[in-house]
Structures are given as C-alpha cells and as structure tokens.
Structure 1
Amino acid sequence: MDILAEKKKAIFESTLELIKENGFHGTPMSMVAKKACVACGTIYHYFDSKDTLIAELYAYVKKQMADAMFEGDDEQKEFKDRFYHLILSHCRFYIKHPNTLYFIEQYINSPYNNREPVKDNEQFQHRMWDFLKQGIDTGVLKPMNIHLLGILIHSHVVTTAKLYFSQRVKINEEDFPNIVQVIWDGVKNHSD
C-alpha cells in the first residue's frame, strides 16, 4: 500500500472510530485530522467536504463488507450453502468491525442516506441483489420484493451483532450457524 493510500485509510479508520464515539455532528474535520495524525490540508486533498468524506467512507466500508462476505464464495455450490457462507461472513464482519456497524446504522438513519449514491456502494448493492435475485428466480427463496428481502436479512444480522456487543444475550461461535439457520428458514421458499 502506498503512502497516499495509507493516509486515506487512516482518515477513514479514524473517522469510523470518532463517529462511533461522537456521532456525525460531533466529529469535525479537525478532530479527524488529529486522530488520523494528518494535517487538515491532507484531508481536504482527498475530500472537498465532510459530506464527501462521509459518502466515500460509506462506500469504503460497504466494499470491505462485500469483500469479506464474498471471499471464498463458490458459485458452483448449492445456493443454500452459499447463503450460509455469506450470512455467516456478514455476521463475523460486524463482530470484527464494530465501528463499521455503528457507522452504517447512523448512516442509513441520517439524511446522508437520501443523497446521490456513491458508485462503489451501488456495485455492492448490485452484487447482493444479483445473489438474492438468483435465489428468487430459481425458486429457492420466497418470491418477494428483493429490496425488502435484503433489508430483512440485514436487520437480522445487525440485531445479532448488537446483541453480541451488548452482552445481554451470550452469543458464542457455535450459535452463529443456528442464527443463520433461523434467517434461512424465514426467507427460503416453502412452497416446494
């Protein structure tokens, strides 16, 4: 990784941590610069505004999530096996990256979510929609609105990660396959 990419990554990772601690409004660019150990001018070299930083950060974390989820995905396997792999990987990604979970939660519930989508984020969405559409088209998944299906699956994953972090319910590694089974049972097509 070159020095410029390292600085940009430091800015993203610092922003994630600060937003988890302080929210969007409580995280000025000067605070990000200090946390990332870069000059304010460096941040403005990459991002012309805080809004641009937030939008690109969202695309950055969605790409990280997609890479983690689809790593090791084998299109030759049965759809159910692929579904299990993707959803387990999704859960584990959030457990490993709690700052990302809290950032995404804040982002989707903020005015940022209603703005023009970033191209990289659209690529992630299309990859997931293509996967889910394949399941619907082949009759494996319930025939329903693909966007609603994706939201329902994602909400289960988010709830699982939040429970894990809150420690209100003890969740062990052995519990994750059972959680994915419950999600699968809810979205699979029972008409066969």
Structure 2
Amino acid sequence: MITQSNISDKRKELLAAALKLFVENGFHGTPTSSIAKEAGVAHGTLFHYFKTKDELVIALYISIKQEMGTCSAPFLEKDIGLKEKVMGIFTASIEWGLKHRNEFQFIEQFHHSPFLKMVPTAEIQEQGKPALDLLKKGIKEKILKPMDVDFMITIVMSQLFGLYKYLIQTNLSRKKQQALIEETVHLLWDMISTGK
C-alpha cells in the first residue's frame, strides 16, 4: 500500500541522491538516470516526483534554503540590535555551512548558475524577505550605508562564500576558525555600516 510517508521518503531519497551527485559532478555532469540509480529507484519514478531535471534542481535549492533559514531565524526574532542580528545571522550561516558542506556547496553552485533565474519570484521574495527587511530598516535608520540593498546582499554573500571556501581549504583549529569568523564578521560590518 502506498502511503503519504512512502511518497515523502522517496522524494527525500531523490533529493539526497541529487545533492550528492550535483556536488560531485555538477548539474550538467549528472544525468537523471544516475540520480535515480543513486536513490535506488527506477528512472521513471524520478519523473513521478519531478517533471524535469530543472524542477528537481530548483526543488532541492528551495529545500536547502528553507533548512538554512532555520539557523538565522532565532537572530531575526531576538530583541537585539541590528549589528548583533547581522553578525549573528552571518556567523550562524557560516557555522551551518561548515556542518552541512554538501548543502552549502550546492547553494554556492546554484547561485552561480542559470537555475537561479528559474526560481519563482514569490519564492525568492518569501525566503529573502526577513533579511531584506532587516537591511532596509538599517538603511532607513542610517545604521547601514545608503547603498542598493541588492548590492549589499551581494557583498554579504561574497564574504560568506569566500570565508567558507577558505575555512574548508585550510586546516585551522576550531579556535582559529572561530577567531577568523569573528574577524570577518567585524570586517563585513565595517563595510556596510555607517559606524553608528
């Protein structure tokens, strides 16, 4: 008997297989037949859950972004200053990335691919709204520099991906990693804040 749980499990298995193979081989180097084989399902079964490979890639991105968003949610909800929120979100995101390397690497791959333009605008707005609102508020209150918010997000993401790459390529102790994360988040704050 097919249950909702079985459907959910198969979908999760396909997403997990896709994540592993996309990180190893890239989007174009991973045929759907390999994803189905890795997940232990028939090739046709994949298309029962995802009509196209593009749909699978986008579904995986949305799923990972939602999971990643849970690490920053506590900082958005806390009654703390903007600086502490921004620094907390950045630090939590990098820590999440170090614990979820495949997922973080996939996000980076995705951000540098044509797939990003395929994500429904409503989905991007929903996921990005809390951070966007936070930055807009900071600009309005003159705590953050009066720059284009999309540009500010680009700066933050560049720092995040750059630091992540450096941390996974070096063999730093946990203590040195934490010191570097703290130093980077202070440099980032100096870049985007007015100093108030």
| Structure 1 length-normalised TM | 0.89
In structure 2, the residue matched to 1:44 is: 47
Q: Is the 8 A contact 1:63 1:121 kept in 2?
A: no
Q: Deviations over 1:138-165 (max 9, x none)?
A: 2111111000001101110110110111
SS at match of 2:162: helix
CA distance in 1, matches of 2:74, 2:121: 22
Q: 1:187 aligns with which of 188, 192, 195?
A: 192
Say whether residues 1:76 and 2:79 are aligned partners. yes
Q: Deviations over 1:110-161 (max 9, x none)?
A: 2222335364333112222112111111211111100000110111011011
Percent identical residues = 29
CA distance in 2, matches of 1:84, 1:57: 27
CA distance in 2, matches of 1:56, 1:94: 19
Give, in angstroms, the shift of residue 177 of structure 1.
Answer: 1.8
Q: Alpha carbons of 1:72 and 1:115: their partners in 2 closer, same or farther (altered >3 Å)?
A: closer
Q: Deviations over 1:56-96 (max 9, x none)?
A: 11111111111122235434211111112111111112111
In structure 2, the residue matched to 1:160 is: 163
Give, in angstroms, the shift of residue 38 of structure 1.
Answer: 2.5
Q: Alpha carbons of 1:116 and 1:64: their partners in 2 closer, same or farther (altered >3 Å)?
A: closer
Q: 2:110 aligns with which of 104, 107, 111?
A: 107
Q: Is the 8 A contact 1:59 1:118 kept in 2?
A: no
Q: Alpha carbons of 1:118 and 1:52: their partners in 2 closer, same or farther (altered >3 Å)?
A: farther
**RMSD, aligned α-carbons:** 2.1
In structure 1, the residue matched to 2:178 is: 173
In structure 2, the residue matched to 1:90 is: 93
Say whether residues 1:3 and 2:3 are aligned partners. no
Q: Is the 8 A contact 1:16 1:103 kept in 2?
A: yes
Give, in angstroms, the shift of residue 169 of structure 1.
Answer: 6.7
Q: What is the number of residues matched between the two proteins?
A: 191
**Structure with higher helix content:** 2
Structure 1: gaps spanning 5 or more residues: none
Q: Is the 8 A contact 2:76 2:130 kept in 1?
A: no
Q: Is the 8 A contact 1:33 1:43 kept in 2?
A: yes
Q: Is the 8 A contact 1:163 1:169 kept in 2?
A: no
Q: Is the 8 A contact 2:14 2:46 kept in 1?
A: yes
Q: Alpha carbons of 1:41 and 1:130: their partners in 2 closer, same or farther (altered >3 Å)?
A: same
CA distance in 1, matches of 2:119, 2:24: 26
Q: Alpha carbons of 1:106 and 1:168: their partners in 2 closer, same or farther (altered >3 Å)?
A: same
Q: Is the 8 A contact 1:79 1:135 kept in 2?
A: yes
Q: Deviations over 1:27-54 (max 9, x none)?
A: 1111111212223233211110001111
SS at match of 1:144: coil
| Structure 2 length-normalised TM | 0.87
In structure 2, the residue matched to 1:66 is: 69
